[in-house]
Each structure stands twice: as structure tokens, then as C-alpha cells.
Amino acid sequence: MAGVEAIFGPPPDGIDLNQNKTPQDNAIVVAIFVLTVFTVALRFFTQIRVQKTSLQPSDFLILSSLFPLIGLLLLTILAGNYGLGKHVWVGTLDDVVTMNKILFAYIYVYFILMVLIKCSILMFYRRTLCIGTTVWVCLGICLSWAIGCAIAFSVSCLPPSYFWEQYQDSTGGKCVTNLYAYYLGNAAANVFTDIMILFVPLPTIWRLQMRTSQKVFVSSIFLLGGFVCVASIMRIYYMSFLNSDVDVNWIMSDVYVWSTVEPSIGIICACLPTFKPLLRWTFKALRLSLLSSSSKSGYTLNRLSRPDEGPINDFSSHRWTTDGYGAHRSDDDETGPIITANAQPHYSSEGSFVISGSDPLAITVEQGIHWSEDRLEIPENSMSRAR
């Protein structure tokens, strides 16, 4: 305690030294990590099982980003064992030294993680939107940012070990860089690259031959990455207290949390645009499930003929599906529901052609559309799923 007070001064009056944010911080970073891993798993499920396409560089980059994210998670939890989330006066001077060693490693892992995420997003743009020069320029900027920040941090203290040893031996070296200014400058440049990447696909999207509503929808999907910028700004906000408050362990708790949440949100947002095939596949599966549960049997429509007019239609080589607006032929789509079962065609007294089976519902073909309790009647040469 005496050693800590010699460095940081006595604790302020009225401060509760029993306060501890460590359990809360650990719960947050673990929860966001689990959500991130689940999101990446869904992305790979979509690519491999739903789309059945080969993995691309953007997929491998986003997968590799999980490893430094695990590093951030473990370093955050480890720092909690040495005073992170507690007031600095609770621990010992050795704890402060160990905390700074962990922070030193944390910063490098953070750079690696962020550049992997940014490169993955840019490579995804290149694959899906065929953006060339702009992507390569942005890749160069992101790599330059990460490498430049890493080099600048490496020489901020001479020797580098002075970064953590300064608390035990202030004469063992010197810091040639204002670390507070470095943290804020690094974070501001990070936000700039995030915003830059966010707007890269928009010009290409708005040049596509689509309806304006579709362009707005697609653009909004990509703009979900704006949540990363919000997390980055929150990280800068908590960093701003480092210059005015000596209680570094307490303040750095929020910085660690937001420095883990920010890349996690980045990974999640990078995966969201790949989920459209998964959503389509899910809705089709639900549609099949609802169709099968609403009827114990379906209908198979073969070549049927009216005694006085010959063949009515040839259904033997086509599949018919329903989409809520009526039925349509689906020769190529093998995922749509098939109307199958043993059907008994007959004509009603009004001259309507009726296909009925064991199910109480029926499909009726006639001139005019109306609903009834036990069957759906629609015009000739049209079909609709009985509701």
C-alpha cells in the first residue's frame, strides 16, 4: 500500500475501496465473445451447408480473427486477477507492474485483431461487389495504420520494458512519447478507417440496376458496421479519463471492456451481410414445416382430362409451389413444397373442377375466386394453396 501511495498519492476522500467491477467486466467480455463465435459459426454454416460454396479469403480472415479475440478475452480476465476493475490503492506495486505488462501485450494483440477484421471486410467487398482499386487502397491504409501504430508504440518507451518498470525504477529509462496522446490519436485513426470502410461499397451499390428500395435495403445492411464506430467512440470516451485520474486500474477497466467489445461487434457486422441465404433457407424450411403440419397429406396432380374437352393440363412434369400470393410452377426450384397425395378429381354441380383427397381441404378450379371453409376455389389454369 505504501509503495502504491508513493506513486499515485493517497486515495481520495469518500472512495469505497471495496468496489469491484471485475465480475461484471468478465461477464460482458465472455458474453460478447460467445455471441461472436456463434455468429462466425453461422457464417460458415451458411457458406458450407446452405450455399454449398467454397470458402474465400474473407472467410479465412474472419475465422483467423477469432484467435487474437481469444487473446483479448484471456488478457482481460487475467488483468482482473491483478487489480483491473478495482481501485489502484487496493493492490500492490507489483500488481501495477503486472497490469502494465498485460496492457503492453494487449495493445499488440488489438492491432492484429483489428487489421484482420478490416481486411476481411474489404476482401468481402472485392468478392461480392467486384470493387478493385478502392479496396486495394483501403487495404494499404489499414495495414499502414496497424504497422505504424505498432512501431510507434514499440519506441514510445526506451527501453520498451520501461513501460512497466517505470513504477519500480523511474531512472531505468524514459518515455519519449506522450502515451495519453498516443492512445487518443491511435483510436481516432481507427475510427477514421472504420468510417472509410463503411462507405466503400455505397457508390457501387447505387450504380446497380435495382429498385431504389432495394438499394436502400442493401446499403443499410452494410451500414450496420456503423455500430463499430459507436463502440470505438465509447472507447475514446473512457480513454479521455486517463489524463485526469490517477486511478488507472479503475479507469482501464472500461477501456479493456470496450476494446474487446469493439472488435467483437466488428466481426459480427462483417458476418451479417452473408446471412441472406441463411434467412431464405430458414423461411423455406418454416414454410415446409407449416405446410406439412396443416395437412396430413398433399396432392399429386397428374394428367387430368375432362370427358368432353380432353386434357385440362399436364402437371406430370412440373412442380407447383405456393408463396402466399398464389401457386406457381417451379421447374428449377427443388426447395418449394410439392402438392402431393392421392387425389380424386371430379366436377361439382356448378361445373367446377375439384381435386379432393383425404384432407378436408381441396383445390378447386373454376371461373371466379372465393373462400369457403373446406376448400379454396380459383380460376382455371391457376392454382393456389388451400389456407
Q: Which residues are paired to 376 by β-bridges?
A: 363, 371
Give, in order, the Cα–Cα distances in Å from 283 to each of 39, 294, 321, 336. 19, 16, 14, 11
Smallest CA-to-CA distance from 239 within 227, 256, 263 is with 256
Q: Which residue has the higher pLDDT, 332 or 61?
A: 61
**Cell numbers describing residue 194:** 472504420
Q: Which long-range contacts (CB under 8 A, 24 or more apart) does 13-20 make?
A: 15/87, 17/87, 17/89, 17/90, 19/86, 19/87, 19/250, 20/85, 20/86
pLDDT of residue 365: 37
On the question of pLDDT at 361 being above 80, the answer is: no
Asked whether the predicted pLDDT for residue 17 surpasses 50, the reply is yes
Cα 114–Cα 116–Cα 117 angle in degrees, nearest 5 = 65
Check whether 378 has a pLDDT greater than 50.
no
User: Whose CA is closest to 298, among 353, 364, 343, 344?
Assistant: 343
Q: How far apart are CA 68 and CA 112, in angstroms?
A: 7
Q: How far apart are CA 320 and CA 50, in angstroms?
A: 22
Residue 113: is its pLDDT beyond 90? yes
- Kindly report the number of other CB atoms within 10 A of residue 323's CB atom: 12
* 14 — pLDDT class (breaks 50, 70, 90): confident
> pLDDT: is 333 or 214 the higher one?
214
**Chain centroid, CA 273 distance in Å:** 8
d(CA 288, CA 215): 30
Which of 99-113, 281-295, 322-336 shows the lowest mean pLDDT across its residues? 322-336
Confidence (pLDDT) at 295:
58
Determine the average pLDDT of the residues in 152-181: 89
pLDDT for res 294: 64
- Greater pLDDT, 305 or 146: 146
Q: Between 322 and 178, where is the model more confident?
A: 178
Query: Which range has highest mean pLDDT (9-18, 211-220, 256-265)?
Result: 256-265
Q: What is the mean pLDDT of the chain?
A: 77
In angstroms, what CA-CA distances link 171 with 6, 160, 162, 175, 381?
16, 14, 9, 11, 92
Judge contact between 95 and 85, C-beta under 8 A: no
Q: State the pLDDT at residue 130.
A: 81
Q: What b-and-e string marks burial along 90-127, b requiring 16 or more CB atoms within 10 Å of the CB?
A: bbebebbebbbebbbebbbbbbbbbbbbbbbbbbbbbe
pLDDT single digits (tens) 46-99: 888 888 888 889 999 999 999 999 999 999 999 999 999 999 898 888 999 999
Gap between the Cα atoms of 78 and 379, Å rounded: 71
Q: Could you give all domains of the chain from N- to C-terminal order, each with its CATH number? A: 2-281 (1.20.1070), 295-378 (no CATH)
Residues near 283 by Cβ (< 8 Å), separated by ≥ 6? none
Asked if the model's pLDDT at residue 179 lies above 80, the reply is: yes
DSSP-derived pairing of the beta strands 327-329 and 344-347: unpaired
Residue 355 in this model has a pLDDT that exceeds 50:
no
Q: What is the pLDDT of residue 2?
A: 53
User: Is 22's pLDDT higher than 50?
Assistant: yes
Does position 8 have pLDDT exceeding 90, yes or no?
Answer: no
Which stretches of the chain are DSSP H helices? Answer: 2-8, 22-45, 57-64, 66-80, 93-129, 133-154, 162-165, 179-199, 202-206, 212-223, 226-239, 248-271, 276-294
User: What is residue 101's predicted lDDT score, i.e. its pLDDT?
Assistant: 94
CA neighbor of 190 nearest in space, from 223, 220, 152, 233: 233
Q: How much is the average pLDDT of 92-112?
A: 93
Give the list of residues 6+ apart from residue 380 with CB closer than 8 angstroms, or none.
312, 353, 365, 366, 367
Residue 4 pLDDT? 83
Which pLDDT belongs to residue 5? 82
Whats the size of the chain, residue-wise?
387
pLDDT value at 387 more than 70:
no
